Amino acid sequence: MINQDFFLALEDLEREKGISQAEFLTALENALVIAYKKSTGTAGGVEVRINPEKKSIKIYSTRSVVAEVVDPEKEISVEEAQEIKKSSKAGDVLSTEIQTKNFGRIAAQTAKQILMQKLREIERENTVSEFEDKEGELMACTVRRIEDGNVYVEIGGNQIEGVLMPKDQVPGEKYELNQKLNVYVKRVKNSGKTAQIVVSRTATGLVKRLFENEVPEIKQGVVLVKGIARDAGQRTKIAIVSEDAMVDAVGACVGNKGARVNAIVSELGGEKIDIIQWSENPLEYISRALSPARVIKVIQTGDESAMAIVPDDKLSLAIGRSGQNARLAVRLTGWKIDVKSESNAIAELGETAQQEQNEQTAE
């Protein structure tokens, strides 16, 4: 039933899957016990002894040696036991080898099924262990298959499978077999029978990690990322601030001749990125968040709500196509923003808006 090639295969398994032979052989022992009992219908004791050095596996039936037998499947009398082993006495456990040829094809198949189940369990545990501290990280992967809209990737040192579900795929982004990708690890999905790494190309965390990789000042903590709002594949707004007055946060993120931000834009397939200088003054922050539009004035109109007044000819730019620019500014700042053209604001607010506009112009 077992030959030298089997044990060599175990060594390969340990190298390729990171599963120790000890774990696997323990699983095999349990599987063979279950398989034997199932195939023979016996309720008696069964013991499996595996010797990797001799490359052998032997199966034994075990019975307790007793003065008076009550359960013949689990017990044997002293007299019968002494016929097999002269030194037997009450209280001993007598083991009798079962010839493997009697084990049968069905038992072997059952053992294989149980072993595969155990192998999946061990792989799942290893997957969870390897990736439990990788959530929120940026990792490289390779596309291995595409099925039912899901993109399955190979990720990590042990080539674990990750899944990029439709909601985590960038609209319009095409994926091909063997394509190399950077993905954001969202979570380890442990269903009890399988473990799967859920990855994303749409998460705001992906943008943050890309900036950390490209901008040393962010990695070092000199420049802080205060917020990110993203419409994946179209536009991202990222708010940053410098902890050092001598460091230009925006300039650090843009890089020499735009090299740093352009590398990120390229990785994101041409997605536009607005780098916003964060401000602790919420009205100033809102003004900057509506970039690339120029904002004349921001007026607070309520609790975390404001009106942003822009030149008449910049209204469409401030709002953006399908309201995207204003929507991202709202998500970035956390404020409700009502974008108004200058003429509409004056008509709505009257002299107050006109006076504020004149003050702004005078400044």
pLDDT in tens, 317-357: 999 999 999 999 999 999 999 999 999 998 887 655 555 55
Query: What are the distances in angstroms from CA 33 to CA 55, 58, 64, 100?
Result: 18, 11, 17, 12
- Token readout for 360 is 């702004």
The better pLDDT of the pair 116, 341 is held by 341
Please report, rounded to a whole number, the percentage of residues in the chain having pLDDT higher than 90.
57
Nearest-angstrom CA–CA distance, 211 and 202? 15
- Token readout for 42 is 């016996």
Tell me the CB-side half-sphere exposure of residue 149, using CA atoms within 13 A: 7
pTM above 0.85, yes or no: no
347's torsion region: left (phi>0), alpha (psi -120 to 50) or beta? alpha
Is residue 138 predicted with pLDDT exceeding 70?
A: yes
Is residue 48 predicted with pLDDT exceeding 90?
A: no
Task: Note the residue count of the chain.
Answer: 363
Residue given tokens 């008076």 in the structure block? 68
Nearest to 42, CA basis, from 68, 76, 74: 74
What are the structural domains, with CATH classification, of the chain?
Answer: 4-130 (3.30.1480.10), 134-199 (2.40.50.140), 203-278 (3.30.300.20), 281-363 (3.30.300.20)
Nearest to 177, CA basis, from 148, 141, 151, 143: 143
Is residue 360 predicted with pLDDT exceeding 60?
A: no
Nearest-angstrom CA–CA distance, 64 and 88? 10
Nearest-angstrom CA–CA distance, 345 and 50? 85
Nearest-angstrom CA–CA distance, 293 and 321? 13
pLDDT confidence of residue 134: 85
What is the amino acid identity at position 169?
Q
pLDDT confidence of residue 18: 64
How far does Cα 332 stand from its chain's mean position? 25
The better pLDDT of the pair 27, 67 is held by 67
pLDDT band at 316 (very low <50, low <70, confident <90, very high): very high
178 burial (CB, 10 Å; 0-12 / 13-18 / 19+) is exposed
- Token readout for 13 is 């398994």
Three-class secondary structure assignment of the chain = CCCHHHHHHHHHHHHHHCCCHHHHHHHHHHHHHHHHHHHHCCCCEEEEEEECCCCEEEEEEEEEEECCCCCCCCEEEHHHHHHHCCCCCCCCEEEEEECHHHCCHHHHHHHHHHHHHHHHHHHHHHHHHHHCCCCCCEEEEEEEEEECCEEEEEECCCCEEEEECHHHCCCCCCCCCCCEEEEEEEEEEECCCCEEEEEECCCHHHHHHHHHHHCHHHHCCCEEEEEEEEECCCEEEEEEEECCCCCCHHHHHHCHHHHHHHHHHHHCCCCEEEEEECCCCHHHHHHHHCCCCCCCEEEEEECCEEEEEECHHHHHHHHCHHHHHHHHHHHHHCCEEEEEEHHHHHHHHCHHHHHHHHHHHHC
- Token readout for 80 is 């019968």
Residue 306's CB: how many other CB atoms inside 10 A? 20
Nearest-angstrom CA–CA distance, 269 and 234? 9
* Stretch 129-137: mean pLDDT: 81
pLDDT tens for residues 271-289? Answer: 999 999 999 999 999 999 9
Q: Mean pLDDT for the chain?
A: 86
pLDDT confidence of residue 102: 61
Is residue 96 predicted with pLDDT exceeding 90?
A: no
Which of the listed ranges 42-51, 84-93, 98-107, 199-208 does the model predict with the highest average pLDDT?
A: 199-208
Is residue 133 predicted with pLDDT exceeding 70?
A: yes
pLDDT confidence of residue 362: 40
Give φ, ψ of 62 to 5 degrees. -125, 135
What is the amino acid identity at position 164?
L
* Stretch 89-111: mean pLDDT: 76
